[in-house]
Amino acid sequence: MAKFICFMIIVILAPLLFEGGYIMNVLVFAGINTMLAIALNLLLGYAGQISLGHAGFFGIGAYLSGIMTTVFNLNPWFVISAASVATGLFAFLLGFPVLKLKGHYLAMATLGLGIIIYIIFNETIDYTGGPSGLSGIPQLSVGSFVFDSDIRNYYLVWGVTVVIMLLALNLSESRVGRALRAIHDSEIAARVVGINTRLLKVQIFAVSAMISSVAGSLYAHSVTFISPASFGFNFSVELLTMVVIGGLGSIYGSFLGALLLTLLPEFLRGANDYDIVIYGALLMLMLMFMPGGLARGIPELLNRFKNSLKGSGNA
Amino acid sequence: MLRLRNVNTFYGKVHALKNVSLHLQEGEIVTLIGANGAGKTTILNTISGVTPPSSGDILFRNESVNSLFPDRIVRLGISQAPEGRQVFKPLSVRDNLELGAYLRYREREPRREIQKDIEEIFQLFPRLKERAKQLAGTMSGGEQQMLAIGRALMAKPKLLLLDEPSMGLAPLVSQEIFTVLEQLRRKGTTILLVEQNARAALKLADRGYLLETGKVILEGQADELMENAEVRRAYLGKDKKEIWER
């Protein structure tokens, strides 16, 4: 609970630290990435099922929102929820054959899925605009209040992120969360205590896809322009990195991982051509010294720091 | 209560169970003995639905259960403590026990009832109570085995399937486990027990089946099996010389 209050205070006050500008825009992306990392973490960190195709679900949400609001002029809020349900249903049906696979095979299957979705975005030019993208997506509004500035988008996106975070925390502490962790550890044992592992895996896959779709819709409406490049394999891998760096099986870890991986490239801009090298080196160092991710690594580091302070006091 | 008729199970092309027939009555403890690879574990996994049979009938309380998913079978009242314990290592002891009652939570049984049963398990295995908050993976093999049995009991089974509860345990610990099984027997729990330690198993059980390469080759009252020359020679190792040289 204390953790959550801290988190809320940071989210609410962060904009005061920066007087608008570019960094606010980056923080909007950090919110979207946090949602996606939480979604993937429910699947990977809790249930232990890998997905290398989550950028695809993110893209489906974004494109459904984009197309339905520009081409068909539907209400954006309605489209966000409908897109989420549709994506969830799609993942649910797909989950039955795909989630029968395990380990590397599951990774390959979801990888293929992501690539197929990416190709569809590229090739159905009549609807998606193909590689040149889809523009003119309307900004969200409530009555006459339009989410047209970075600061407004910030509160919109982070508002939704907080809700999703609460739901995810709740889920992970519940009977279902326990069952997911059980599947992760031993699927046979999970089955003999009466967990319908097949159904539960598919269900969490669908929930994860639904959250990703919502993130995609919000992305489309806040940026107002989308192109397939944002939803490719690279982004799926980046999401995976956020989850692992943040800490598998920790919701707050997903927040930290998403925040770090969204902000880091911005701070490394100054290093010009070397930014990608430094970025890679930092990730490797973090995995070597914090194998449990930031969520476990940071408290450990703080503890060690405290102990060393005590130690020097005695000496 | 439970009846298997001409059950055949395959792992891919390997014919693991060949026309196995056996039965259990309410309140009975029946043991399956035999060498490695004889099909003992496969019988349990076939009953619990983990490796469904390719032919034959499995009747539980006159209801056919052979094509059901494992969770349905647990719901009907059969729960298993699987081979190698398979406790949920990153979860606490209490969480493991709560997971044993997974379906009861799902069926909205009052929390109070379930907590009461957890206390009962703690009475049966006081060591688990001391370690309620500890992660299951950090406990000794014997404690993990107690937890696996406790977890299976949390489903309130009518029939308990136990797969090698003494596997890899020190003799004293294994004795402790058998003492608890004795207690369960007095409470009238029906148990199908797979054991390597044939002597301990036959001492506890009412009846037994002897398996070899996927077939039942002998069945009978436990004390009869204990006296059987073939069983003594191959599985009890007693008076080997005497019997051999006769």
Q: What is the mean pLDDT of residues B155-180?
A: 92
Kindly state whether residues B92 and B199 are assigned to the same domain: no
Q: Does A195 touch chain B (CB under 8 A)?
A: yes
Kindly state whether residues B182 and B130 are assigned to the same domain: no
What are the chain B neighbours of A178 within 8 Å (beta carbons)? Answer: 91, 95, 98-99, 102
Q: What pLDDT was estimated at residue A315?
A: 47
Kindly state whether residues B171 and B239 are assigned to the same domain: yes
The span from the CA of A297 to the CA of A313, in Å, is 24
Q: Is residue A308 part of a domain?
A: no
Of A175, A188, A191, the CB nearest to B105: A175
Where b means 16+ CB within 10 Å and e means fewer, B135-167 reads: bbeebeebbbbbbbbbbbbbbebbbbbbbbbbb
What are the chain A neighbours of B90 within 8 Å (beta carbons)? Answer: 181, 184-185
Over chain A (315 residues), the average pLDDT of each successive run of 10 is: 86 82 90 97 95 96 96 94 97 96 94 96 92 93 89 94 96 93 92 93 97 97 94 94 93 94 87 83 88 88 86 59
Q: How many domains does chain A have?
A: 1
What are the chain A neighbours of B79 within 8 Å (beta carbons)? Answer: 192-194
Contact A188 B50 (CB under 8 A): yes
Order of strands, sheet of B190-194, starting from the edge strand that comes earlier in the sequence: B78-81, B159-163, B190-194, B29-34, B207-212, B215-221
Kindly state whether residues B164 and B240 are assigned to the same domain: yes
Please, which pLDDT band fits residue B229 given cuts at 50, 70 and 90?
confident
Kindly state whether residues B149 and B179 are assigned to the same domain: no
* Dihedral angle computed from the Cα positions of residues B169, B175, B181 and B183, in that order, rounded to the nearest 10 degrees: -150
> Which residues constitute the domain of residue B130?
88-156
Kindly state whether residues B126 and B163 are assigned to the same domain: no
Q: Is residue B97 part of a domain?
A: yes
Kindly state whether residues B151 and B197 are assigned to the same domain: no
Question: In this prediction, does ipTM exceed 0.95?
Answer: no
Tell me which of B160 and A314 has the higher pLDDT: B160
Q: Is residue A245 part of a domain?
A: no
Kindly state whether residues B62 and B104 are assigned to the same domain: no
Q: Is residue A247 part of a domain?
A: no
Kindly state whether residues B119 and B213 are assigned to the same domain: no
Residues in chain B: 246
Q: Is the pLDDT of residue B76 over 90?
A: yes
Q: Is residue B82 part of a domain?
A: no
CA distance, residue A72 to nearest chain B CA (Å): 42
Kindly state whether residues B93 and B65 are assigned to the same domain: no
User: DSSP string of A217-245?
Assistant: HHHHHHHS-B-GGGGSHHHHHHHHHHHHH
Kindly state whether residues B27 and B55 are assigned to the same domain: yes
Contact A194 B70 (CB under 8 A): yes
Phi-psi region of A189 (alpha: psi -120 to 50; beta: other; left: phi over 0): alpha
**Which one of A193, A195, A250 makes the best mutation probe of the B interface by having the most chain B beta carbons within 10 Å?**
A193
Q: Is residue A11 part of a domain?
A: yes
Q: What is the mean pLDDT of residues B165-193?
A: 92
pLDDT for B96-144, tens place per residue? 999 999 999 888 999 999 999 999 999 999 999 999 999 999 999 999 9
Q: Is the pLDDT of residue B245 over 70?
A: no
Tell me which of A273 and B185 has the higher pLDDT: B185
Contact A193 B69 (CB under 8 A): no
Kindly state whether residues B181 and B169 are assigned to the same domain: yes
pLDDT for B231-241, tens place per residue? 887 777 655 55
Q: What pLDDT was estimated at residue B241?
A: 54
Kindly report the number of other CB atoms within 10 A of residue B220's CB atom: 15
Q: Is residue A239 part of a domain?
A: no
Q: Is residue A277 part of a domain?
A: no
The CATH number that applies at residue B42 is: 3.40.50.300
- Tokens 């160092």 sit on residue: A285
Q: Is residue B131 part of a domain?
A: yes
The span from the CA of A186 to the CA of A164, in Å, is 28
Q: Is residue B152 part of a domain?
A: yes
Q: Is residue B133 part of a domain?
A: yes
Q: Does A173 touch chain B (CB under 8 A)?
A: no
Contact A185 B91 (CB under 8 A): yes
pLDDT for B38-56, tens place per residue? 999 999 999 999 999 999 9
Q: Does A181 touch chain B (CB under 8 A)?
A: yes
Q: What is the mean pLDDT of residues B149-162?
A: 95
> Which residues constitute the domain of residue A103?
2-232
The span from the CA of B137 to the CA of A35, in Å, is 31
Q: Is residue B18 part of a domain?
A: yes
The span from the CA of B12 to the CA of B101, in Å, is 33
Of B89, B90, B102, the CB nearest to A193: B102
Q: Is residue B101 part of a domain?
A: yes
Q: Is residue A27 part of a domain?
A: yes
pLDDT for B196-208, tens place per residue? 888 899 999 999 9
Judge contact between B147 and B97, C-beta under 8 A: yes
Q: What pLDDT was estimated at residue A257?
A: 94
Q: Is residue B83 part of a domain?
A: no
Q: How many domains does chain B have?
A: 2
Q: Is residue A9 part of a domain?
A: yes
Contact A192 B82 (CB under 8 A): yes
What lies within 8 Å, CB to CB, of A233 at 6+ separation is A52, A55, A111, A114, A115, A118
